[in-house]
Amino acid sequence: MPETTFLDSTELVLNMGPQHPSTHGVLRVILKLDGEKVMGTECVIGYLHRGVEKIGENRTYLQFAPYVDRMDYVAAVSNGLGYCLAVEKLLNIEAPPRAQVTRVILTELNRVASHLLWLGTHALDIGAITPVFYTFREREEVLKIFENYCGARLTTHAFRIGGLQYELYDGFEEQVKAFCDMFLPKVDEYEELLTNNRIWVNRLKGVGILNADECKEFGVTGPVLRAAGVSWDLRKAQPYSGYEQYDFEIPTAQNGDTYDRYGVRMREMRQSVRIIRQAVDKIPAGPIGKTPKVIKPPVGEAYVSIEAPKGELGYFIVSDNSTQPYRVRVRPPSFINLQALDRMVRGGLVADVVAIIGTIDIVLGEVDR
């Protein structure tokens, strides 16, 4: 056994986070390093744990709705839609057509807003500062639509069980159409900035590969799964809220690396605009739905999952025929996608960890709940 010197490699344990800016919140990753090479990771979560599921057991069905907005606060509208659909399934009611179309428009706008925030921060992690200013500029237009519609920009609380609370405001269609017309050239602009840029390509191509089988093993959903070549989108697979009426494609890619996930999300934004355009043209007249006075679902359980911007967002609610849920379980996409981090990072470089955390698109409010 030769004497060990300082030149010999030993495992170095490095804490990344919870205050690291590129962990997108309060994620702590314990990296085991051999030089620049990552030998393994361990995620420590729970710094943002608020016990949302437990809070749900102590609130009425109507009162719990604002809390779900605070899990994935970047895509609050999608969270609200998932929760409302789950309770509506328990109650065995359905929102009227006008409410359903409005819900689709708002959730798709929210998908665009979520992807824009992801694009800006992800590019910022890689070192491209410009896109974040442009994406936030466009995101602002989406948030203005939300503010005009329901009075809040981020934690919207836009939908109620059984339909909507607010009627569409005057000029909603025009504002949404103007946004669609303005937005598509802007996506081309982001692509001009990034897609061919040599630094961007070199940092992302072949980094953090997760193939289709591994994705299925980990239960990964959303753009991460689609970038691996699996054409799985709940909007097509099990349509909810009238998604079967719209004509759109599921963008997929083959390699399952970080660059493909970027491409998939960019194309998804374009598809969202396509859905919004179709939906705005045919908002039916009629009632927007009324919240039942007393919400007391019969004994039973319901699981509803929707395609949130980050993947499959599921709500499992157990009812014991009282005004409060017996149990609320949330299947957050970020939490489950985060599991794949170790597989993607292993063998890569420290700088790739930042790129990979960015590409999974996690929101820590949703991981910890």
Partner 1 sequence: MNKFLRSIFLVDLFQGLWVTFRNQNPKYIYTEQYPGERPKVAERYRGAPRLNINPDNGETLCIACNLCALACPETLIVVGSERNEQTRRKDLTTFTYDLSRCMFCGLCEDACPVDALELTQDFELAAYTRDGAIWDRQMLEEGPRPTRYKF
Among 1, 198, 247, 293, binds partner 1 (CB under 8 A): 198
Residue 211 binds partner 1, judged by CB under 8 A: no
Question: Which of 255, 323 has the CB closer to partner 1?
Answer: 323
Minimum distance of partner 1 from residue 250's CB (angstroms): 29
Minimum distance of partner 1 from residue 335's CB (angstroms): 23
Residue 157 binds partner 1, judged by CB under 8 A: yes
Minimum distance of partner 1 from residue 194's CB (angstroms): 8
Residue 295 binds partner 1, judged by CB under 8 A: no
Residue 30 binds partner 1, judged by CB under 8 A: no
SS3 of the chain: CCCCCCCCCCCEEEEECCCCHHHCCCCEEEEEEECCEEEEEEEECCCCCCCHHHHHHCCCHHHHHHHHCCCCHHHHHHHHHHHHHHHHHHHCCCCCHHHHHHHHHHHHHHHHHHHHHHHHHHHHHHCCCHHHHHHHHHHHHHHHHHHHHHCCCCCCCCEECCEECCCCCCCHHHHHHHHHHHHHHHHHHHHHHHCCCHHHHHHHCCCCCCCHHHHHHHCCCCHHHHHCCCCCCHHHHCCCCCHHHCCCCCCCCCCCCHHHHHHHHHHHHHHHHHHHHHHHHCCCCCCCCCCCCCCCCCCEEEEEEEEECCEEEEEEEEECCCCCCCEEEEECHHHHHHCCHHHHHCCCEHHHHHHHHHHHCCCHHHHHC
Among 196, 247, 293, 294, binds partner 1 (CB under 8 A): 196
Residue 149 binds partner 1, judged by CB under 8 A: yes
> What string marks each residue from 168 to 187 as x (binds partner 1 by CB under 8 A) or -?
-x------------------
Q: Kindly identify the residues of this chain, within the stretch 55-74, that bind partner 1 according to CB under 8 A.
A: 59, 62-67, 70
Residue 322 binds partner 1, judged by CB under 8 A: no
Among 76, 101, 194, 230, binds partner 1 (CB under 8 A): 194
Question: Which of 45, 123 has the CB closer to partner 1?
Answer: 123
Q: Kindly identify the residues of this chain, within the stretch 123-142, that bind partner 1 according to CB under 8 A.
A: 130, 134, 137, 140
Residue 77 binds partner 1, judged by CB under 8 A: no
Residue 53 binds partner 1, judged by CB under 8 A: no
Q: List residues near partner 1 by CB under 8 A.
A: 59, 62-67, 70, 130, 134, 137, 140, 144, 147-152, 155, 157, 165-166, 169, 189, 192-194, 196-198
